Structure 1
Amino acid sequence: MRPLLVVSLPLLSLFALAPSGAPPAAPAPDSVWQRLADCESDGDWHADTGNGYYGGLQIWPPTWREAGGLRYADRPDRAPRRQQIAVAEEIRRRQGWAAWAGCARDLGLIH
């Protein structure tokens, strides 16, 4: 379920100006990752719904591996929230918010 969430303009201004392929300037605030997880997995950081994506941010296992997630756990849902976010920051560095296109769009992180 992906509820429509409203992001305040100050938060939007932090992220909306960089193209999705450009490297982010700074780590995203914790509140952004929580809102993204709320959209992706209803905030369940240990989500294993059988859809092939895991954890709070619904990361695909090959992407998890490529972004260095195996240093924490074999799958995202088996890693603590903080470690999922650390790997997600690497994914965001590589792919931008487009890695979570639907929810990122709903949150106003991409257009």
Structure 2
Amino acid sequence: MGARALVVAPALVAAVGGSIVMSQPASAATTWAELRQCESGGNYTVNTGNGYYGAYQFALSTWQSLGYTGLPSGASPATQDEAALSLAVRSGFGQWPICGQGMGADQLAADASSSGAGSASPSSPSDSTGTRRLVVRQSAESLLDAPDSTLFTTGLIHQVRSDVRAWQLQMNALGYKILIDGRYGPQSAFAAGLLQGSKGLRVDGICGPRTRAATFA
């Protein structure tokens, strides 16, 4: 994902009644509905030709990095919601540098981004990756339920864990200055991604056995 994957211009462009209009961004969003409204006027099908698509104004490269095909503006609302949540979990709300400034960790819960405007069927032929994503998500959830799990994802942000705290302490000792609170949130995931990049591991911000081993090596 490029650093400017979802950088939004100071003025938003929206398609209204077949014409292009300019509007200043609303105040920073605090909910997913407000984020969609700020980014695109809540229009899941918007494609103004500016290189960004759909309700969340995805860059195509960002969309593809999340495992999706086609144009974001052609995907169902449920699929776009799922992708936006996945992006926020992976990289934080800085991906929407203007509209996302008011978004916080409470918006990273499962299905928090759902608009109720449609559903994505994992077995639908129009979404060939749906089944894979569902299996991965279910596998991650089952691992998180295990008390001795070594898989850290931002799904743990609402838990205070001694093993996460120990990892954060070691990361600080390595020079990654993150908050030591026992909660694995976007800041910890970002630091994990930096460590993974420096160690030649897959950069995904998920702290599994290999990343933990690299941390304590």
Q: How does 1:1-111 map to 2 (within 5 A)?
A: 1=12, 2-4=25-27, 7=30, 32-70=31-69, 74-105=70-101, 108-109=102-103
Contact 2:29 2:103 in 1 (8 A): no
Report how far residue 4 of structure 1 moved. Answer: 2.0
**Greater Rg over alpha carbons, structure:** 2
Q: Which has the higher helix share?
A: 1
Unaligned runs of 5+ in 1: 8-31
TM-score under structure 2 length normalisation: 0.35
- % same residue: 32
Structure richer in strand, relative to its length: 2
How many pairs were matched up? Answer: 81
RMSD over aligned Cα atoms: 1.6
Which ranges in structure 2 are unaligned for 5 or more consecutive residues? 1-11, 13-24, 105-217
CA shift digits 1:6-38 (9 cap, x unpaired): 74xxxxxxxxxxxxxxxxxxxxxxxx2221110
Query: What amino acid sits opposite 2:103 in the alignment?
Result: L
Distance in 2, matches of 1:81 and 1:38, equals 14
Give the TM-score normalised by structure 1: 0.66
Provide the C-alpha distance between the structure 2 equivalents of 1:6 and 1:91, rounded to a whole number of angstroms.
16
RCO greater where, 1 or 2, for CA within 8 Å and sep 6 or more?
1
Q: Write the distance in 1 (CA, Å) between the matches of 2:34 and 2:68.
A: 21
Contact 2:36 2:56 in 1 (8 A): yes
Distance 2:75 2:32 in 1: 15
